[in-house]
């Protein structure tokens, strides 16, 4: 990631495979990522822990990787109580219609909710971004090379639709 930042989707993908070696490692990364989610359901695409700076985007699939990782963890460990663990959200200015991303300092909010509610907010954000035939791509789904397809809120993502269906 940019200059050694944590990548929301990248680290979750990597940690899912770690469940076979150290399930606690996956659990901690899920909590770390959930704490980089906003109340609106979107997340920081990447961030630097030491400076609190990160990039808020309209990339669509990041949100669902949190849910996917939680499902993988709970199914693998049987730790259903994990869904009740409370994690804080970030606070920050919303992206305006003309903004695809914003690099800024983001701080923890005073609001905490369960991991389950974090997952619900992720799913609802993807669905609310306008499913017609398929979910909106935003400014990228897993293929960041498609970042211009959805910048005006028009592009749809078949890949994201399959991912959402699987979840």
Question: pLDDT tens digits for 111-152?
Answer: 999 999 999 999 998 887 655 677 777 776 666 666 666 666
Q: How far apart are CA 123 and CA 129, in angstroms?
A: 10
Q: How far apart are CA 25 and CA 34, in angstroms?
A: 14
H-helix or E-strand containing 16?
helix 8-18
Q: What is the pLDDT of residues 63-101, one digit of tens each?
A: 999 999 999 999 999 999 999 999 999 999 999 888 888
Beta bridge partners of 107: 91
Cα 58 to chain center, whole Å? 10
In the predicted structure, residue 1 carries a pLDDT above the cut 60: no
SS3 23: helix
Look up the pTM and report it: 0.91
CB 79 within 8 A of CB 85: no
Residue for token pair 């770690």? 18
Read off the DSSP letter of residue 164.
H
Alpha-carbon torsion (41, 29, 5, 49), positive or negative: positive
What integer pLDDT is reported at residue 137 of this predicted model? 75
Helix, strand, coil percentages for the chain (3-state, nearest 5): 45, 20, 35
């Amino acid at each position: 990631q940019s200059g050694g930042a944590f990548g929301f989707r990248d680290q979750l993908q990597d940690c899912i495979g770690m469940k076979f070696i150290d399930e606690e490692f996956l659990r901690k990364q899920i909590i770390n990522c959930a704490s980089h989610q906003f109340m609106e359901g979107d997340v920081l695409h990447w961030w630097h822990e030491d400076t609190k700076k990160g990039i808020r985007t309209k990339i669509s699939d990041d949100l669902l990787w949190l849910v996917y990782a939680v499902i993988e963890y709970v199914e693998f460990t049987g730790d259903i109580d994990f869904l009740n663990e409370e994690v804080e959200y970030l606070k920050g200015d919303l992206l305006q219609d003309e903004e695809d991303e914003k690099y800024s300092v983001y701080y923890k909010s005073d609001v905490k909710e369960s991991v389950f509610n974090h997952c619900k907010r992720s799913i609802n954000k993807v669905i609310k971004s306008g499913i017609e035939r398929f979910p909106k791509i935003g400014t990228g789904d897993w293929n960041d090379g498609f970042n211009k397809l959805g910048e005006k809120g028009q592009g749809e993502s078949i890949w994201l639709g399959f991912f959402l269906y699987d979840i």
